[in-house]
Structure 1
């Protein structure tokens, strides 16, 4: 089932871009360390969620987190993405031992092609920092509420830290220099208070907030529970 809503970043997801997305996290010491920290937060979030047995990874991209999700031996993974190129890249590059645990699904986060309460948890690590419109986030969260039986693990960029302050200053300078809002990138630092209220309005409670580097980095992982 395809969604009529398309975000700007989704248009660039051809197969070459998909492969680049996977390989860039292995390029250089800083990125490898960053990826290790992201994995650490993801493992902690999964543990807090009760180590769910059936997980929807959406959007899964090129399967970056599939080996981590497959660490739990009896976990079943649905790797879903709006881009067939991303899914094909994942099927090509991920190890066979991981792929045998994954069922792929081409679908949109705005209109997930799964029935109500289909999975134990939704794992969403690379989406919300690219969704600037509150109405779009509301639609995604309503789909997450419908499809997950229990929990959602979701990451995004939030304010209230040094990197967010610095980014805001750089964007202001860029705007003055160009005189155009078009200079803004398609990734967004969201007010933590705003998105947390959106979570509550969608029917979730916040179980945990996990920061990449507290008070410094923008990256935060939320563990949300239904009810």
Structure 2
């Protein structure tokens, strides 16, 4: 009686991957719905705004109109802003509404006024169904300091956001009320950061 030849490593791998693909295809066959997502990027780790801008660039690459409202970093010159305004202004509106972090302005009323102005612009852009994605960069900071009313923001997103519009909100310390209504929440975890070793923010990495 001939002893069967055991499968090779390559054959075992192919069989394993075939099973994974079949299981994946079965799951994907049940996922047919589409909707505009409420997305929150939060946490102490780096990458919240970077991820949001990555999504905006995806929209641009697909020819999908989009918009950005920056709530805090408006006084900064950033690579994302320079790129979008110089090359993609026809597809992405960019509104830098903030004047820096609150410890830089040291003027609470001025910060509140800037945040309110940013939120009014955000509502206008979200209501416009031509915009497939609206990034509200660092809005969580404005909410954290109560420059904006989280209940108002939540109510607007629940009641007035168009069905197919994606809204991305970034910034650490996201309010629980936002997390509750979000479809996708990612928390960036800080493991190491060069700032703690005395290295300042660098072009191309931080801005």
TM-score bin (small chain): 0.3 to 0.5
User: Relative contact order (alpha carbons < 8 A, sep ≥ 6): 1 or 2 greater?
Assistant: 2
With the length of structure 2 as denominator, give the TM-score of the two structures. 0.41
